[in-house]
Structure 1
Amino acid sequence: MSHPQFTPGTPGLSDTAPIPAVPAQPGPPPSGPPRNNRTLLLRGAGLVAIAVVAGLVWYLIRHESTPDTPVAEPPATTTKPAFDYKLAEGPVKATDCAANAYTDAKKFFQDNPCKSLARALYTVQSGDAKALVSVVLVTMPDAAKATELKQLTDRDGTGNVSDLVRDGTFHDTDAPKLSGDQAAYESKASGAEVTIVLTDFYYGHHDKQLLARIAKNAVKLSGKLR
C-alpha cells in the first residue's frame, strides 16, 4: 500500500503542539492567626486605663499617708498702751489702811483691817491736756472683803483711801484736787486685791470722756505696786 507523502516543513500529526502557560498558584497562607487592628487598639486602651488607675491609687496612698502640714500661727502682737503714764510720786506702802483713809472707808478698815496698802501718783499727757492720776492697791484678807470694799468706795459720799495729794505727800502747787467733784473714778476687784483710781486735769481743763478713758486705762498700773 502506498503512504501519503508529506511536504517537509509542514506540521503533521507527529509534530508536538505548543503547551499554553499555566497561571501561578497562590502560595500557602502565612503561619499564625491574622493580625487584627481593632484587637490591638483595645489592648492598648486597656493598658492605658490600668496605668491611670495605678497612678491614681498611688497618689491616694501617698496623700493619705502624708501628715497634714501644720499651719503656722500668726505672730503674737502686743497692744500699745493708750496713754504714757509717768511716775510722779511713790509707791508709798503701808499696812494700816484705817490710818490712810477717811469717813466711811476709814471705819470699814477699822472693822476689817487690810493686809497691805500701796499708793502712787502718775502724770499723763494727751495732746494739750495733762492729768494727774492716783493709783491705790489695797490687799484684803480675802476676796469677800475685797468685794465689800469696792462696793463701798463705788458709792458717792462714802469716803476713800487718801491719795498722796490729799495727805500732803505730793508737793505740787498746781496739782489738781483728786478727791474733788471733777475727778474721774475707776475701781476693780480681783481676788483679794482692790484697785482704786482717781484722776483730774491740771489747770482746769475739761474733757469728761478723755478723763474717763485715762482712769479706766490706769487700772492696770496697779501691777507695778505689788
Structure 2
Amino acid sequence: MNVVQLGPLLLNLDLLISILSAFVTFLVIKMRLYRLNIEGIIAEKYSRAMMIGFFTWKLSFILFDPVSVIQYPMSLLYFDGGDRGIGLAFVTSLAYVGFRTRKDHTSLTLNLDLASAGWIAGSSMYQLLFLFMGTSNMLFHILHLLLNGMLAFCLYTSNRATLGMEKMSPCWIWYSIGMVGIFFVRESKSFIIAGFTKEQAVYIIIFLLALGFSNRLGQKKSKEAQ
C-alpha cells in the first residue's frame, strides 16, 4: 500500500489518486453533456454510480476480511477490497446505471458516449499522476496515455456532436487490442487465464462486444441495401 504522511496522518496515496481521477471523470462527463446540450440530470446518474462504486470497493474489505475489521476498525481507512472489491464495485455501478437508464430512457449510444469520455479523462489522470510520481511501470503509463489520446482522437475529432455505434465500435476494437498488448510490458503481472492477466481478459471481452456491435451494424446495413 502506498501512503503519504500529512502531519500525524498516514493517507492512502492510491485512494487519493482514485478520488481525484473520479472527480476529473465527473467534470468531463458534465462538459460532454453541455457540449451535447443535454440536461445535467444525467451527470447526477454517473456521479451516484461512481459514489456507489467507490463505497462498494472501499467497504468490501468488511466482506472479504471481516476478522481484521473487527479487530482493527481503523483498517478501513487504509485498506480496501482489492481486485475482488473492484470487480464488485464495477458490477454494482453498472447495475445502477442500467437501472437508471431504463428509467430516464436515454439511449445506449449516449451512455456509451459519456462513459467513453469519462474513461478517457479519468484513466488519463490516473496514469499521469503515477507517471509524475516516478513510480515503476513508466513505459506502461506512457503507452496507456498514448492509447487514450488515440481513442479520444478517434471518437471526438469529427464535426458531429453526437457519436454513433458505427463510429464507436471500430475505435474501441482497436483500443482494446492495444490495451491487451501494453499489459504485456507492465511489471508485476499476475496471469489468470491462458497467459492473460485479469485486465487483459476484461479488454478481450470489450473487444468481443465492440466486434459484435460492429458486425451487427454491418449486417443491418447490408439488409437495408438490398
Do they fold alike, i.e. is TM over 0.5? no
Which of the two has higher C-alpha Rg?
1
* Structure whose residues are more often helix by fraction: 2
TM-score with structure 2 setting the length: 0.27
TM-score with structure 1 setting the length: 0.27
* Structure whose residues are more often strand by fraction: 1
